[in-house]
Amino acid sequence: MSNRSLTTFSAALLSSAALVLGVVVTPAGADPTASEATTPENRTVLAEDFSGTALPAGFTAVEGSWQVKNGRLYGTSANSGQQSRITFGEHLTDFRIEVTARFESVNDSARWTAMGLDVPADGAVPWQIATMRSGTTATNGLEFAQRTTANTWNVTDTAAAPSAAGTGRDVRMAVEVHGAKARWYFNGTEAMRTTKLARSARGVEALVVNGATVSFDDLKVTELPAESHLRPAGSPLTVIAHRGASSAAPENTLVSDEIARRGGAEYIENDVQPSKDGVPYVLHDGTVDRTTDGIGLIRSLTSAQLDALDAGSWFAPVYKGTRIPTLAAQLEDLKSRGGAMLLEIKGAHTRDEVATIVKTIRDHGMTDRVFVQSFEVSALRYTYELAPELPLGLLRDALDADPVAIAKELHLSAYNPSDGGLSKRLGVVQDLHAAGVAVNVWTVDSAARWRALEAAGVDGIITNRPAELSGWNAAWLQRQNETPDAPAVSITSPAAAARLDRAQAPVAAVQATGADKVTLTLDGGPVTAGKPLGLAGLAAGEHTLRAEATGPGGTTTATSVFTVEASRTGLAHLILTSGAKDQVVAKLTGMLGRADYKQLAKWAERHAGRSGLSGDRAALIAAEASALAAA
């Protein structure tokens, strides 16, 4: 592989795992690093294998020791107080950074290395990184963290990696970034996500080492298309907090949003309506009666009147004094605290009222973190006319006759039906995905329904219980990452080493666990478990029954060898079930009764193929009689 530092050529590389709601749909469970498709929107910004002897062009060592040797880049930090940094690349909004990292030595298991996601080219603060400790299986083995302007840490997200990095072991680290959102991949497996990246206007990429010596290889930075909203393969459901954490705090308030954010919500779903004097407020109902200490239509109350209302006491005394936030306050809170907004334009709005909402979003620089949805088709049309950069979702209770057609007509990024509506036509999910349209379902608080909807392929869940869904997602990810046990299989009948005669009809019985499929053969030919084995047609001697169980953990086999042996009862069974004419059966049974086995064998051989005695059955009778004669 040639040294290609800071190149800017078109590449055929589209990662199948995108960030927060994804970019490409691939089969469930696929490795996001292994399925890439050609697209003109992707661009390889940097691909470096460190095959030279000096730092590549465009790499700036800021602190610590950095050198290239033995085909790898080595970074050393003497102690925990030194953040050794090297910067490279260019400022990107949507990109993937990936590198193979190996801890060569560490001062202790808490020391770390990181990918810089937004770092000034001179390495000065503030900067944003994705961190991996050598003790990766600790609860903070992986982190998203910010180095602030005060030179302190703000760790926004932590997780344990699925396996240990330790020392001397290569780990493929990757992060996919879309604005303030990111997904952290550890050896191809999603381990963590965030909506709280601190982004700047000029920051580039970097590698950072703390209290360790770390070597790096195969560094790559790829510019990605702007995010779509389809759930990436191998990623859990997107958590959308319905009116914030509305089961734990007063809905549609800043405190509800904060609880949802801390509980793992990626999107905060809020409702917006105008006051009498045209200020957009976050409120679900048409009146303030249910969720405040006031009464009246929101559109009949001025912003001053709305600001004076208590929007928390109705929920619990501890929330007394909580206010109805304006859209501007809600956006500012999200901007400073992290997160994205799924904003429902509630009820009928004029074009001017929608224009005020759009202006508020733009004035706060939040067009890249707001997703607009509505039941009102006119509101979505106005939004598209005024701000085509804002993604749109259509809310539905019952499904449209042709959801794909209306999605195209309205330029939708998502079609958001009720759980009840979607459950009647689950095939719509696949149709919408084929058209590049995501599906987010409302409002679902049941783990059983989360499981069913995840299996149906939906992208996100709007829920009153975002923390619970986030925990359910974590358990789902753990199950996906577990290596399943090999299936277990045993043959319970006929028992191994059994000695059987032809009068017996043992049932083939198999026990298996962890298997999706079990096949059974007798001497290489297929047989059916649960049905009797026909011993009358088997030659005397050993026979092998073989079971093969196949499941997610692989394939396991078991065998049982049994012996068919001659017996007086077995010979009688062969004669009586031969299908020969009555006089033939009488002749044979007469010789059997006298134990004249030699004569019986000769007589069966002479009459093979005559009087209804088939040649195969005659041969078996003769062989059985000869065996008894020799015993």
pLDDT tens for each residue of 327-367: 999 999 998 888 899 999 999 999 999 999 999 999 999 99
Question: Of 192, 223, 254, which closes a domain?
Answer: 223
Q: What is the CATH number of the domain that holds 376?
A: 3.20.20.190
Q: Where are the beta strands (DSSP E) in 243-391?
A: 267-274, 280-282, 340-345, 370-374
In a domain, 299, yes or no: no
Q: Which residue has the higher pLDDT, 208 or 630?
A: 208
CA nearest neighbour of 442 among 314, 267, 290: 267
Q: What is the CATH number of the domain that holds 517?
A: 2.60.40.10
In terms of domains, do 453 and 332 share one? yes
Q: How many CB atoms lie within 10 A of CB 494?
A: 22
In terms of domains, do 520 and 422 share one? no
In a domain, 1, yes or no: no
In a domain, 501, yes or no: yes
In terms of domains, do 335 and 458 share one? yes
First to last CA, the chain: 75
In terms of domains, do 476 and 413 share one? yes
Give per-residue pLDDT as tens, 387-426: 999 999 999 999 999 999 999 999 999 999 999 999 999 9
Give per-residue pLDDT as tens, 267-322: 999 999 999 999 999 999 999 999 999 999 999 999 999 999 999 999 999 999 99
In terms of domains, do 115 and 263 share one? no
Residue written as token pair 């917006």: 272
For residue 352, the model assigns a pLDDT of: 98
- Does the pLDDT value for residue 23 go beyond 60? no
In a domain, 454, yes or no: yes
Alpha helices (H) in 535-596, listed in sequence order: 568-576, 582-593
For residue 592, the model assigns a pLDDT of: 93
Tokens of residue 88, six digits: 């490279």
Q: What is the CATH number of the domain that holds 78?
A: 2.60.120.560
Tokens of residue 129, six digits: 């990184």
Question: Of 199, 223, 247, which closes a domain?
Answer: 223
What rounded mean pLDDT belongs to the chain?
A: 90
**Mean pLDDT on 510-519:** 92
For residue 445, the model assigns a pLDDT of: 97
Q: How many CB atoms lie within 10 A of CB 244?
A: 29
Provide the CA 370 distance to its chain's centre, in angstroms: 24
**Mean pLDDT on 247-269:** 95
In a domain, 347, yes or no: yes
Q: Which domain holds residue 446?
A: 238-287+325-481
Amino acid identity of residue 542, one-letter, is E
The C-alpha atoms of residue 247 and residue 270 are separated, in whole angstroms, by 14
Question: Under a CB-based contact definition with an 8 Å cutoff, are residues 97 and 115 in contact?
Answer: yes
In a domain, 320, yes or no: no
In a domain, 548, yes or no: yes
In terms of domains, do 83 and 200 share one? yes
Run of H or E residues at 22? none
For residue 227, the model assigns a pLDDT of: 84
Within 13 Å, how many C-alpha atoms sit on residue 372's CB side? 32
**Mean pLDDT on 106-110:** 91
CA dihedral 136, 139, 144, 148 (to 10 degrees): -110
For residue 6, the model assigns a pLDDT of: 31
In terms of domains, do 390 and 266 share one? yes
- Does the pLDDT value for residue 443 go beyond 80? yes
In terms of domains, do 122 and 152 share one? yes
User: Active-site positions?
Assistant: 242, 284
In terms of domains, do 259 and 138 share one? no
| Cβ neighbours of residue 70 closer than 8 Å, sequence gap 6 or more | none
| Burial class of residue 365 in the structure, from the number of CB atoms within 10 Å of its CB (0-12 exposed, 13-18 middle, 19+ buried) | exposed
HEC profile of 293-310: CCCCEHHHCCHHHHHCCC
- Does the pLDDT value for residue 28 go beyond 80? no
Provide the CA 432 distance to its chain's centre, in angstroms: 19
CA nearest neighbour of 466 among 260, 311, 287, 604: 260
CA dihedral 294, 299, 300, 301 (to 10 degrees): 50
* 402 DSSP β-pair partners: none
In terms of domains, do 121 and 193 share one? yes
Give per-residue pLDDT as tens, 186-239: 999 899 999 889 899 999 999 999 999 999 999 999 999 988 899 988 889 999
Question: Of 481, 511, 526, which closes a domain?
Answer: 481
Share of the chain above pLDDT 70, in %: 94
pTM across the whole model: 0.69
**Mean pLDDT on 147-161:** 94
In terms of domains, do 384 and 361 share one? yes
Share of the chain above pLDDT 90, in %: 81
Lowest mean pLDDT segment, chosen from 21-25, 478-482, 557-561: 21-25
The C-alpha atoms of residue 193 and residue 195 are separated, in whole angstroms, by 7
For residue 41, the model assigns a pLDDT of: 65
In terms of domains, do 129 and 261 share one? no
- The number of folded domains in the chain is 4
In a domain, 150, yes or no: yes
CA nearest neighbour of 517 among 551, 474, 469, 566: 551
